Amino acid sequence: MILTVNQLTIAERLDIKHCAIQKPQFIGVIGANGAGKSTFLAALAGLLPIAPHSIRLQQHDLALMTVQQRRQQISYLPQFASVSTPVSVLQVLQQGLVNLTLAEQGRAAIERVCDEFNLVSLLSRSITELSGGEQRRVHVARACLGHATLALFDEPGSGLDIGYQLELMDHLKARSDQGQLVIAALHDLALAAQYCDQLMLLHQGQLVAYGTANEVLSDRHLANTFGIKATWLCNDDGVALLAQRLTINQNS
């Protein structure tokens, strides 16, 4: 068992009774605004006070892990990552090498993510001079450095155009296929359905559904949590969602 959640409660924001993830995979956390997605990821990252035994990562009690232990095991990209100091892109990436001890490993890791996220031409530029989308790519790349057991991404595609969003989802899926547990909060239900192995649907701080896209994105769940009716267009190349808002009578 890689990750288990039991009686995880964050006052007035989150109340998850139980969830168990047995193997590395790509899991999408979905839900309406205010459902608790960001709070859930922050709790998994060890950034919020939690009760002992409420989260276990590879049999380790997250509440008892030190900051250094968490950095070794968990990488985390918040929804609003920003750097206000005019440091170079290379310096930002170097800050993500906390769980790589050898300089050679660090250099190789930075070269790898720069190739994957097309950042080579940006390395010497100041992070504050980049566009919002470029900055997001840098922060995503930084979160992909190292060998964390659990990788958490809160709206990783925010500010990225559709091409980079697809490239990012390809990369996150590849990381899970290579043995990392990847959990991402996602707003785009079509991308979530296309790429994620499992989905976690949160509603008012509670886990109301956990399973495959077909199981979670049912008409009932979409109506109850998003207030929409969906028409899905699916083929071998991807998934598209046509959504229609429901009236109060339709939703009841």
- Looking up tokens 């598209």 gives 240
**151 is in which domain, residue-wise?**
3-251
Distance CA 67, CA 46 (A): 8
Q: Which two tokens stand for residue 58?
A: 């590879």
Residue 4 in this model has a pLDDT that exceeds 90: yes
H helices within the chain, ranges in order?
37-44, 67-73, 89-94, 103-116, 132-143, 162-177, 189-195, 213-216, 219-226, 248-251
Q: Into how many domains does the chain fold?
A: 1
Specify the pTM.
0.92
DSSP character at residue 17? E
Local confidence band at 116 (pLDDT 50, 70, 90 cut-offs): confident
Residue 248 in this model has a pLDDT that exceeds 80: no
φ, ψ of residue 164 to 5 degrees: the values are -70, -30
- The CATH number of whichever domain residue 16 belongs to comes to 3.40.50.300
Alpha-carbon distances of 24 from 5, 181, 182, 205, rounded to whole Å: 16, 4, 7, 24
**pLDDT per residue as tens digits for the range 139-175:** 999 988 877 899 999 999 988 889 989 999 999 999 9
> CB within 8 A of 230, min separation 6: which ones?
189, 217, 219, 222, 241, 242, 243, 244
What mean pLDDT is predicted for residues 223-245? Answer: 92
> Looking at residue 250, what is its pLDDT?
60
**pLDDT per residue as tens digits for the range 65-111:** 999 889 889 999 998 877 878 899 999 998 877 655 555 567 888 89
> CB within 8 A of 41, min separation 6: which ones?
29, 76, 152, 153, 154, 183, 185
Local confidence band at 199 (pLDDT 50, 70, 90 cut-offs): very high
Distance CA 216, CA 200 (A): 8
